[in-house]
Chain A
């Protein structure tokens, strides 16, 4: 590292560490020295992980290893004397063309710390609920208990979704993407079937009939199935809560293929006994965001005679 570069880093208020291709510290700026109570001389030559305490060492070690392996920036979190830092480790090319690492630390906003603490608090009741429901499930084996068994199974599935969102929230707060959710794929027919079953149960004795229009299996689409299930439930529930609920609700999915791409169209279609509906539904932002997160397209078609349909076109997951 050149003297000019070191000089620039010394003006930064945020702590910065520079490591060599072996993962040893070659430079720490004055902000790092004061916050972590260490001098350049003491830090130089030591493993980057050694500059941190306890569990943070593992996070640093992991991040540095990933930077060296993939040559991409890695985000992680560390704590020092009760203060949280959001850190980003990035590759830098040294003078001899070997790859080193630079770690920039940014003090956490208090709000994020509070959110992380709340997130930890939420985990306990989730675990307790899960345990209680598992116990209840064991007691609903007989025929008389079958109705309650459905409720308990629904609750367990809801908890699974809650865990997923919780996991994603934690990943977002930690500044890391959620690789599990991003790279998985699922059969949309399964989701559509569950949504139709849940909608039927929610409707109860209401006059709307619900029909499922999907084959038993469809091509897999990429993304998180809990996200699609939530979106469809929101759309279906929203339609049923409107001033003029439909006489029939069709929840369907089918594979479509165009010249350019294969996809799956998931639909929520409504009929009214006295004709169609002229109102364009304004989908809540969370629906639009979720469809975008599934790389999908949302569209509503309204016909005064035929009814109304909301489509979600999702790209097929290609290996």
Chain B
């Protein structure tokens, strides 16, 4: 349980970090690359799932809420997509 406790503590700090990097939660996500290029990234299933929800008009918060995912996992995936340059956030 002590290990799980540390896991939760680190998880909460990472969540805060991801949310800060994503910046404005009301900003709209847009896919930056062509569909055929996405295949090259060999994305994990949860990233592919979130990517499929990005339509250029739905905000980060709405996508995370609609996905039904754990907010930590959702924020981690969106942060990863932004870092990899696959998506961009527009205010």
Residues of A that sit less than 8 Å from B by CB: 211-217, 248, 250, 252, 254, 256, 265, 267, 269, 271, 297, 299-301, 303, 306-309, 311, 313
In the bound complex, residues from chain A placing their C-beta under 8 Å from that of B15 are 211, 213, 250
In the bound complex, residues from chain A placing their C-beta under 8 Å from that of B72 are 213, 252
**B62 CB within 8 Å of chain A:** no
Set A212, A215, A254, A309: member contacting B5, Cβ < 8 A: A309
**B4 CB within 8 Å of chain A:** yes
Residues of B that sit less than 8 Å from A by CB: 1-2, 4-6, 8-13, 15-16, 68-73
Q: Is the CB of A271 within 8 A of B13?
A: yes
Q: Is the CB of B71 within 8 A of A269?
A: no
In the bound complex, residues from chain B placing their C-beta under 8 Å from that of A216 are 68-69
Q: Is the CB of B9 within 8 A of A309?
A: yes
| CA of A254 to CA of B72, assembled, Å | 10
Given A250-B12, A309-B9, 18 more contacts at CB 8 Å? A211-B15, A212-B71, A213-B72, A216-B68, A252-B8, A265-B8, A269-B9, A299-B2, A299-B4, A300-B5, A301-B1, A301-B8, A303-B9, A306-B6, A307-B9, A307-B13, A309-B8, A313-B4
Known: A211-B71, A213-B70. A301 touches B12 (CB 8 A): no
Q: Is the CB of A265 within 8 A of B4?
A: yes
Q: How far is the CB of B18 from chain A (nearest CB, A)?
A: 12
| CA of A248 to CA of B71, assembled, Å | 16
Set A217, A248, A306: member contacting B10, Cβ < 8 A: A306
| CA of A254 to CA of B73, assembled, Å | 11
In the bound complex, residues from chain A placing their C-beta under 8 Å from that of B73 are 215
| CA of A76 to CA of B2, assembled, Å | 44
Residue of A nearest to B9 (CB): A306
Q: How far is the CB of A29 from chain B (nearest CB, A)?
A: 53
| CA of A256 to CA of B8, assembled, Å | 12
| CA of A303 to CA of B10, assembled, Å | 10
Known: A250-B15, A301-B9, A309-B9. A214 touches B70 (CB 8 A): yes
Q: Is the CB of B1 within 8 A of A297?
A: yes
Q: Is the CB of A269 within 8 A of B6?
A: no
Q: How far is the CB of B75 from chain A (nearest CB, A)?
A: 10
Q: Is the CB of B1 within 8 A of A311?
A: yes
Set B1, B8, B70: member contacting A269, Cβ < 8 A: B8
Q: How far is the CB of B79 from chain A (nearest CB, A)?
A: 15
In the bound complex, residues from chain A placing their C-beta under 8 Å from that of B8 are 250, 252, 265, 267, 269, 301, 309, 311
Known: A297-B1, A299-B5, A301-B5. A269 touches B12 (CB 8 A): yes
